[in-house]
Amino acid sequence: MCLWDMKYREKERLYPFRFFPVCLIIIRNYLLSPNLILFAVINMDSYINPRDNTILLSLYTVIISFFICFPVAYYIAKIARKENKLTLVLLVIAPNMVSGFIIILSWLLFLADYGVLYFILKYLKLIEGPLHILYTRVAVTIGLVYSSTLWMFIPLYAVLESLDNSLIEAAADLGASNSRILLRIIIPYSKTAIGTGCTLTFLQALGSYIIPRFLGGKSGLMYVQLEQGGGPGHIYGSYDGGGGVYRHKNQRD
């Protein structure tokens, strides 16, 4: 048995210990608190479970960010010209250099009922009435994806840049299709970067406060908002801290 196989098997033995704390959190928050899910399912129009909503929106953010960043990272690392790579990387990083409040205000103007997006779609004759994107899960997801793409892009780009082009060329010479090269060479080679990017993106979305605070209505409420100042009851509505159920008064779904 080679040294690589021994190290790989040692890592496999540690996997249960890595996921054990996560399992404890799930059991503590969900299996021991069935009323949280019960209220969210029975009366979704008036009540919402911030914990479930936080995990759901964070997963949406991870999935969308991956499908956006992976093609972009691969194009910059393997297809773009060498002299253009630095410029393209800076273009990806540049939006994250802007202040978070400016980004939020920009999305508020862009996603408003009669905002910039409304006038663009109306000019293209794609809609007739006002948009209803702001203060919904869609708006929160858009904001989270925008703010989290950097955490997904950097690990993917760093690993794909180190991928030897001769491996791809050899597979193509042997008759492998593009999809087979992607599934058998590129993705297995970058699986560590995928795991790192997904973890960082998920944690970034999980702890976000400003984006759901300004872009989300009652359907976009996230659990971290309830931990700020004893809960958002003085701003949004009332929160039953014991049952974990939040009642929203003014904003729409």
pLDDT at 121 over 80: yes
Instruction: State the pLDDT confidence band at 219, using cuts at 50, 70 and 90.
Output: low
pLDDT (0 to 100) of residue 231:
41
Domain ranges of the chain: 49-220
pLDDT (0 to 100) of residue 15:
56
pLDDT (0 to 100) of residue 13:
59
User: Which burial class, exposed, middle or buried, applies to 222 when counting CB atoms under 10 A from its CB (0-12, 13-18, 19+)?
Assistant: buried
Instruction: State the pLDDT confidence band at 155, using cuts at 50, 70 and 90.
Output: very high
pLDDT (0 to 100) of residue 76:
93
**Residue 180, C-beta contacts closer than 8 angstroms, at least 6 positions apart:** 171
pLDDT (0 to 100) of residue 246:
41
pLDDT (0 to 100) of residue 233:
41
H/E stretch holding 245 reads strand 245-248
pLDDT (0 to 100) of residue 71:
94
Instruction: State the pLDDT confidence band at 135, using cuts at 50, 70 and 90.
Output: confident
pLDDT (0 to 100) of residue 112:
87
Cross-strand partners of 47: 247
- State percent of the chain over pLDDT 90: 19
Cα–Cα separations (whole angstroms), residue 89 to 27, 72, 93, 214: 41, 10, 6, 29
Name the CATH architecture for the domain at 49-220: Orthogonal Bundle (1.10)
In three-state secondary structure terms, 240 is strand
Q: Which residue has the higher pLDDT, 171 or 26?
A: 171
Instruction: State the pLDDT confidence band at 201, using cuts at 50, 70 and 90.
Output: very high
Across the range 1-21, mean pLDDT stands at: 53
